Amino acid sequence: MSDNKFKPNWKTVKFGDVVRHVKDRVKDVENCDLTEYTRGEHFEPGNLHLIGRSQLGDGLHGSAFHMRFRPGDVLYVSRNPQLRKVAVADYEGICANTSYVLRADGENLIQELLPFIMQTEDFVEYTIQHKRGSTNFYLNPSDIEPYEFPLPPIDEQRRIAELLWAADDVIVKKQELLENLKVLRQSVINDIVPDPDNEPELSFQLEDVCEMQNGKGFPGKEYTDHGIKLLRPGNLGINGYFDWNSKATTHLPIIFQEQASDYLIESGDVVINLTAQSLEDGFMGRVCLARDGDESLLNQRIGRFKCKPKIKLEYLYRCFQTIRFRQIANSRCEGTKVKHMYWRHIADFKLVVPDIKKQDEVIEKCAASDSAIFAAETNLEKTIQLKKQLLNSNLTG
């Protein structure tokens, strides 16, 4: 950006003229006075707060981890700049030399405003345009230094920084609320879904009340951007519902809807993921409920449950969301690099099948927890968008 679109007392500056790349190298990391370090996974795109830290000496950091940072420093992950990984350090530690430690000069630019400048669309666009590499993209410090942006007087910087940090604080609080609601939801499910040990007279094995249909292998050469959606493991959301984000979604020509009608998923169906590369985030054995708009074809390595009249599909869905089932899915799957699960692994899973009225009560209470989470997610997203508007309107026009 070279044109100053702001007030006369604003000035256009180069990033490298007001921001210093701190190179405080620790010569002997194993015997220094620091105990913790941060790596790429501790950064979350768009989040100015580190989401974790690791202990030095854990065997997971290599020789590139030797740069000291201090509380308040801005840490910028120079690899894959399109991921927008920038955060403010809240402790003193070590980072890799590919994570740049940045400090404002304090005379022209205050430190509190620096991270927000690096979150603007103008800055992100600039870094993407100037990235190096063909597969593993990266930026050198010299690639960022020429970036030009409009800078207000110090008093105005303080006002803008205070506004944006207040918005960020609201986001953090709403994120905490959302996480608490998710914990509460799991607690509700564990408490309200009957335990077979407490009601043995109403307990059945899974194979007594339903069967599982395995998905079909569809030809990859037929994948297209339109037609009937194809349900793949990547479409099974962590929230227990289908996720049709563009990166994970593909389609098949509409003719497959008729040719493979036995594999057509409709609203109310319950499906399970049968393959995963790791057990993180409950991906192995993840169970999802289809809703309106989720009509799709059942791909291989996903199973669909078909119940007998005595049990409702949505009640079965809630039984699968208990910690008991999660433990079975994780402990019984097989494979080394890629984990797989089959019907035989879960056919003897025990569950209580009460009368339909009791099942409806479980369904209703669990659905209420989901509704609270959806409302919190919507509210959080609106706040995030508001912060983006404030950020770009105050700093880039």
Q: What is the mean pLDDT of the chain?
A: 95
- Say if residue 4's pLDDT is above 70: no
Angle at 241 between CA 237 and CA 245, to 5 degrees: 55
Residues 6+ apart with CB under 8 A from 376: 174, 177, 178, 181
Nearest 5°: phi and psi at 85? -95, 100
Provide the pLDDT for residue 111: 98
134-157: per-residue pLDDT in tens?
888 999 999 999 999 999 999 999
- Say if residue 3's pLDDT is above 60: no
Q: Is residue 4 part of a domain?
A: no
What is the amino acid identity at position 341?
M
Quickly state the pLDDT bin for 2 (edges 50, 70, 90): very low
Residues 6+ apart with CB under 8 A from 345: 328, 329, 332, 333, 334
- Say if residue 250's pLDDT is above 90: yes
Residues 6+ apart with CB under 8 A from 375: none
Domain boundary among 317, 337, 353: 353
| C-alpha–C-alpha distance, residues 306 and 389, integer Å | 47
Q: Is residue 3 part of a domain?
A: no
Q: Is residue 298 part of a domain?
A: yes
Q: Are residues 55 and 121 in the same domain?
A: yes
Q: Are residues 274 and 343 in the same domain?
A: yes
Q: How many domains does the chain have?
A: 3
Q: Are residues 138 and 169 in the same domain?
A: no
**What pTM was estimated for this model as a whole?**
0.86
Provide the pLDDT for residue 356: 97
Beta-bridged to residue 79, according to DSSP, are: 138
- Say if residue 19's pLDDT is above 70: yes
223-238: per-residue pLDDT in tens?
999 999 999 999 999 9
Q: Are residues 158 and 30 in the same domain?
A: no
Angle at 119 between CA 113 and CA 123, to 5 degrees: 105
Q: Are residues 199 and 334 in the same domain?
A: yes
Q: Are residues 199 and 345 in the same domain?
A: yes
Q: Is residue 77 part of a domain?
A: yes
Quickly state the pLDDT bin for 180 (edges 50, 70, 90): very high
Q: Are residues 73 and 171 in the same domain?
A: no
Provide the pLDDT for residue 278: 83
Question: What is the DSSP-derived secondary structure letter of residue 195?
Answer: P
Alpha carbon of 236 to those of 50, 71, 243, 244: distances in Å?
Answer: 27, 39, 6, 9
| CATH code: domain of residue 349 | 3.90.220.20
Q: Is residue 5 part of a domain?
A: no
Contact by Cβ (8 Å): 116, 391: yes
Provide the pLDDT for residue 135: 85
35-93: per-residue pLDDT in tens?
999 999 999 999 999 999 999 999 989 999 999 999 999 999 999 999 999 999 999 99
Q: Are residues 369 and 296 in the same domain?
A: no
Residues 6+ apart with CB under 8 A from 106: none
Contact by Cβ (8 Å): 241, 289: yes
In terms of residue numbers, what domain contains 45?
11-151
Determine the length of the chain.
Answer: 397
Token digits of residue 224: 């297209």
Choose among 221, 199, 228: nearest CA to 319: 199
Q: Is residue 190 part of a domain?
A: no
Token digits of residue 111: 């430190």
Q: Are residues 60 and 177 in the same domain?
A: no
Q: Is residue 339 part of a domain?
A: yes
| C-alpha–C-alpha distance, residues 243 and 140, integer Å | 36
Contact by Cβ (8 Å): 359, 311: yes
Q: Are residues 142 and 158 in the same domain?
A: no
Q: Are residues 213 and 345 in the same domain?
A: yes
Least confident range from 215-219, 253-257, 391-395: namely 391-395
Contact by Cβ (8 Å): 264, 295: yes
- Count CB neighbours of 9 within 10 A: 8
**Helix %, strand %, coil % of the chain (to 5):** 40, 25, 40
Q: Is residue 6 part of a domain?
A: no
Q: Are residues 213 and 170 in the same domain?
A: no
| C-alpha–C-alpha distance, residues 196 and 340, integer Å | 26
